[in-house]
A and B are shown apart, each in its own frame.
Chain A
Amino acid sequence: MAKILDQPRYKCSMAAMQTVHAITRALPILHSGPGCAEKLSGSAGSSGYFSPHIFPCTNISESEVVFGGEDRLRETIDNALKVVDADLYVVLTSCTSEIVGDDVEQVVRSFKDRDKPVIYASTPGFKGNNYLGHEWVLQAIIEQYLKPPSKKSKGLVNIWAGTPLHDPFWLGNLRELEKLIAELGLTPNTIFGHGRGIENINKIPEAEFNLLVSPWVGLNSVKLLKEKFETPYLHYATLPVGAFETSKFLRVVGEYAGIDSEKINQIVKKYEDEYYYYIERFADVFLETRVMAKRFTVVSDAQYAVAFTKFLVNDVGLFPAKQYIVDDTPEEYQQQVQQHFHELNYEIQAEVLFSTDGHQIHEEIGNADYYGYPLIIGSSWEKKIAQKTKAHFLAVSWPLNERLVVNSSYVGYGGGLKLLEDIYSVVLTRFN
């Protein structure tokens, strides 16, 4: 059977323009048709210093398809440098420019002596999805822009997590991870969002280590950084949500960075005490619900499927039904992602399906017995199946059409409380 894209949970690799966009003052230049940026950026929060309609674009038409679009691209880059005030220009290729066979590398090379850096990434939509495209953009920056450092900075840690803009909570999560790292006495370095940008990119090679907080996205980038700058990396697969995982996260990262364990214990104690102050106060709500069974299902990318399953099992005491991972996780990573669902408290194991076929997933959910009203955490696509199964429903991942997320986060101690707030705000809309 051919692969049907029924309920898309990912976009094509050219959506990596969002990764560029997430770097303040970095500008994507699109060698693509006129509609790619608009279709790929249809989520709230895509304005900013630039926005998708500001991205220079060759708006490929029939003549570029027939005669090639290299001249058009050269002209577009040349004028982009004159018209748009950016720090870094990242040319992205598209399905059309790649099939037509334009030599974008050669065009981009002709701009190497300009005042501002111009690099390129090959991101035709047919080559992969936006999770891969995100990595290709990071790799383009590493390969074409970064220079070997004159020194290493002790305690400087590059943090990589989430897929910018595609993950609605990417920035809030990243900021919380920074705070956790700073709490350990380390200096976080991230390149995305307000107040970061080219200066922080320049610091990447100086870091003492790279911290990747993600099940699989970003792994190739930290490996490449190791290869190029001999920067070691710590791959921490679970986005820490709630006390259990956040304390573990602080201990693992702290130990890796050689932080005194007594100091880590003190930090953990301070935060856990505060966290459980709140849990204690609101536990009645969780314990005396008439309307929520113990079973939950997450339908999301590997990041949230792992993170929320761990939180809901290890912190909240719920029980996992089958979990669904919809980011088209490459086969080479599937086993290690699956392993996380086998390492829950009390040897609880969650069944996991890697699938990009929303229809199949919804059929399974519809046929499953949750022994009461289930909790379904997913995207806008899950709204209908949640209605059918009388589930409590929380949308957290793309596509997220009926919820506005500005800067909130599910990471850390506070992130766990935030997730509880969101879940039980839904639960409280029903009495029985």
Chain B
Amino acid sequence: MSINLELSAAGTRESRLGSITGYNGDLKELVQQSHCGTLIDRQRCFSQSSTCCSGCALAQLSGIRDVAIVNHAPSGCTATAAGVDVLNAQLAVKRGVSNSTVYVGTDMNEKDTVFGAVGDLKDIVLETYRRYQPKAIFIGTSCVSGIIGEDVDSIVEELREEIPVPVAAVHCEGFKTRIWASGFDASDHAVLTSLVKPPKKKRNIINFKNFFESAREEIIELFANFGVEPLFLYQNSTVEELAGLSEALATVCICGTLGTYLGNGLEEKYGVPYVRTINPLGVTGFETWLREIGKVIGKEPEIEEYIVKERAEYMPKIEKIKQELQGLRAVLGMGPGYTFEVSRVLQELGIKVVWAAAWHYDQKYDNGEVPPALDYLLKHSPDNFKLSVADQQNYEILNILNTYKPDIYFSRHPGTTIWAIKQGIPSLCVNDEYMIFGYKGTLDFAQSVLDTIRNRSFEKNLAARTKLPYTDWWYQQENAALLKENT
């Protein structure tokens, strides 16, 4: 098994899961090579700015209520602190709770790079504790602290003697991994090793790994039908709630990329079953996921009853919109937790996936199995569509869009939607992780797709007045022209 909670760091996805950031081929080949273990990462000789694991790791942890993040890094790495603070405030107000989490940095300077700054780090952690009395402290590492060899683990040991709350190092040096989702694992590792306690009793709780709990009310209501309560992680979680993750009936997640480490870790260490189905997006995904939950918690008849009732309400409406979506051609560019799931939903709605780009790809999840979405697609996809692993490389995406000229582009990550729009292609950003959740989410999504392609004014206006940033030369190349050959 790939999870080792005895170590101080989670390790990278490249090393644990054989994850890659460069691939160009098709569905069939990708899945087969994943099963055979023959998939090889392709490097690029040209790349555009991507995302680092530190952002993901610390963003996850900073959603927990009343904790402190101390980022041992130069000032720029802590630039996201205000965004976290504002987001926490907005989401706490929405829930009617308070969140006093703080996100500070050590502002490493040139002198620190020469002489080291673990002493300062310790002082700053102590000062942070004095100022805010957080219920846990997470110390993030950075490229600089990693390269100059700061022994953060030893400082954490010392601090544990001096501070009466959990203190954990979060190893998330940006250069260590090309896969920002390694940061999710770093945050889960910190939670599993410093907050989660062994179970005392089982409780009627289902751990729900998500991002920002936007479907909170809906899911509470859904789970109430089966006599269980969801515990949403980590935004607005408390340290006390996280201590009890081991007592849950099961762990589920909205995104396999996000959930693999925590879900598998809790299952391995505490026997909390991890529901590993395709994700609850679209009708098939939702029903498959729900049935598996029913199996785990022993509520299968209740689930079937629920499905019949909801189907009666929503399926006629979904079927109606589906008729209007038939034959549309789509390209997608998203993280792998969504690319393959949304591809499946699009096919379910009668839309043809002509190209799916995933920003990275995990050959296996932490249970050693190929992600279920891939196996599902291999079995059910009407065709063997083209597929790439594109590390948010916009130039590759625009090249693909230029070649395939789809009716619509689906994005998910910040700053990626506009580029398809500028190429004149209607685009829909699947931003909220619950955008396609369940029957109602599927209906809303289908309607949004239809609305998007029916009013093309914005892209028409903008595309007519802007120039794209890539050269004609580039548009004449193959999209994979700057991926290096396997060696």
Q: Which residue of B lies closest to A52 (CB)?
A: B49
Say whether B113 contacts A99, CB under 8 Å. yes
Assess the B124–A15 pair: CB atoms within 8 A.
no
- Contact A95:B89 (CB < 8 A) given known A14-B76, A60-B175: no
Chain A 366-383 interface mask (CB, 8 Å, partner B; 1/0): 000000000000011101
Residue of B nearest to A15 (CB): B76
The distance from the CB of B131 to the nearest CB of chain A, in whole angstroms, is 6
Known: A58-B47, A65-B175, A83-B470. A5 touches B54 (CB 8 A): no
Nearest-neighbour CB distance to chain A for B415, whole angstroms, equals 5
A85 touching B470 by the CB < 8 A rule? yes
Among B24-32, B104-112, B324-332, the one that faces the other chain is B104-112
Q: Find the B residue at minimum CB distance from A51.
A: B415
A143 vs chain B, min Cβ distance (A): 21
- The answer to whether B470 and A84 touch across the interface, beta carbons within 8 angstroms, is yes
Q: Which of A28-55 contact B (CB under 8 A)?
A: 30, 32-40, 42, 46-47, 49-55
Q: Is the CB of A64 within 8 A of B144?
A: no
Is there a chain B Cβ closer than 8 Å to A113's Cβ?
no
Q: Which of B76, B79, B82, B123 has the most CB of A within 10 A?
A: B76
Query: A64 and B49 in contact (CB under 8 A), knowing A4-B106, A42-B83, A83-B470?
Result: no
Chain A residues contacting B82 (CB-CB under 8 Å) are 7-8, 379-381, 399, 401
Question: In this complex, what residue of A is CB-closest to B417?
Answer: A47
- Interchain nearest-CB distance for A45 vs B (Å): 11
In angstroms, Cα B391 to Cα A60, docked, is 14
Residue of A nearest to B416 (CB): A53
On chain B, the residues within 8 Å of A8 by CB distance are 75, 78-79, 81-82, 105
B46 proximal to A (CB < 8 A): yes
B4 to chain A, nearest CB (A): 20
- In chain B, what residue has the closest Cβ to A85? B471
Q: Are A35 and B471 in contact (CB under 8 A)?
A: no
Known: A4-B128, A35-B174, A38-B49. A11 touches B123 (CB 8 A): no
Chain B residues contacting A33 (CB-CB under 8 Å) are 52, 143, 174-175
Q: Does B466 contact A (CB under 8 A)?
A: yes
**Is the beta-carbon distance between B74 and A36 smaller than 8 angstroms?**
no
Residue numbers in B under 8 Å from A247 (CB-CB): none
Q: Hey, which chain B residues are within 8 Å of A4, CB to CB?
A: 104-107, 124, 127-128
Q: Does A93 contact B (CB under 8 A)?
A: no
> B interface, how many residues as a size bin?
35 or more
Q: How far is the CA of A64 from the CA of B147 in the complex (A)?
A: 11
Q: CB of B340 within 8 A of chain A?
A: no
* A57, B110: Cβ atoms closer than 8 Å: no
Complex alpha-carbon distance, A127 and B144, angstroms: 12
Chain B residue, CB-CB nearest to A398: B82
Contact A75 B74 (CB under 8 A): no
Q: Is the beta-carbon distance between A51 and B418 smaller than 8 angstroms?
A: yes
When the two chains form their complex, are residues B83 and A401 in contact, meaning their CB atoms are under 8 A apart? Answer: yes
Q: Is B473 an interface residue (CB 8 A)?
A: yes
Q: Which residue of chain B lies nearest to A13 when distances are taken between CB atoms in the complex?
A: B76
Let me know if A96 and B143 touch, CB within 8 A. yes
Cβ B469 vs Cβ A50 within 8 A: yes
Residues of A within 8 A of B482 (CB): 79, 83
Residues in A whose Cβ lies below 8 Å from that of B416: 53
Residues of B within 8 A of A3 (CB): 106-107, 120
Q: Is B274 an interface residue (CB 8 A)?
A: no
Q: Is B364 an interface residue (CB 8 A)?
A: no
CB-contact partner of B394 in A54, A126, A130, under 8 A: A54
Q: Does B420 contact A (CB under 8 A)?
A: no
Tell whether B45 is near chain A: CB-to-CB under 8 Å: yes
- Are B104 and A5 neighbours in the complex by a CB distance under 8 Å? yes
Q: Which residues from 120 to 174 on chain A have a C-beta closer than 8 Å to any C-beta of chain B? A: 124-127, 129-130
> Do A11 and B119 form a contact, CB below 8 Å, given A59-B178, A76-B46?
no
Q: Which residues of B contact A130 (CB under 8 A)?
A: 76
| Residues of B close to A129: CB separation below 8 A | 75
Residues from chain A with Cβ under 8 Å of B106 in the complex? 2-5
Residue of B79, B86, B391 near A402 (CB, 8 A) is B86
Interface: B77 (CB within 8 A): yes
State A294–B473 Cα separation when bound (angstroms): 62
- Among A39, A80, A99, A127, point to the contact of B52 (Cβ < 8 A): A39
Q: Are A12 and B394 touching (Cβ within 8 A)?
A: no
Assess the A7–B76 pair: CB atoms within 8 A.
no
**A36 to chain B: closest CB distance in Å?**
7
B79 with A7: CB separation less than 8 A: no
User: Chain A residues with Cβ under 8 A from B102's Cβ?
Assistant: 6
Known: A62-B176, A82-B473. A126 touches B74 (CB 8 A): yes
Known: A96-B144, A99-B144. A15 touches B79 (CB 8 A): yes
B335 to chain A, nearest CB (A): 14
A100, CB-defined interface residue at 8 Å: yes
Residues of B within 8 A of A6 (CB): 102, 104, 128, 131
A10 within 8 A of B: yes
Contact partner of A53 among B77, B119, B143, B394, CB < 8 A?
Answer: B394
Given A83-B471, A85-B470, A381-B85, verify A126-B52 contact (CB < 8 Å): no
Within 8 A of A (CB), among B374-416: 391-392, 394-395, 414-416
Tell whether A287 is near chain B: CB-to-CB under 8 Å: no
Docked Cα-Cα span, A34 to B119, in Å, equals 28
From A38, A50, A125, B51 is in contact (CB under 8 Å) with: A38
The reply to whether A53 and B83 form a contact with Cβ atoms under 8 Å apart is no
Q: Could you tell me the distance between the alpha carbons of A384 and B89 in the complex, rounded to whole angstroms?
A: 9
22 chain-A/chain-B pairs, Cβ below 8 angstroms? A4-B106, A4-B107, A5-B75, A5-B105, A10-B75, A15-B79, A34-B180, A38-B49, A39-B80, A47-B418, A52-B49, A53-B48, A56-B47, A65-B175, A76-B46, A82-B474, A95-B113, A125-B76, A126-B144, A359-B131, A380-B86, A381-B82
Residues on A lying within 8 angstroms of B by beta carbon are 1-8, 10-15, 30, 32-40, 42, 46-47, 49-62, 64-65, 75-76, 79-80, 82-86, 94-96, 99-100, 124-127, 129-130, 356, 359, 379-381, 383-384, 399, 401-402
For the A-B complex with A6-B102, A7-B81 known, give 9 more contacts whose Cβ atoms are closer than 8 Å: A33-B143, A42-B79, A54-B394, A83-B46, A83-B482, A85-B471, A95-B74, A99-B113, A126-B74
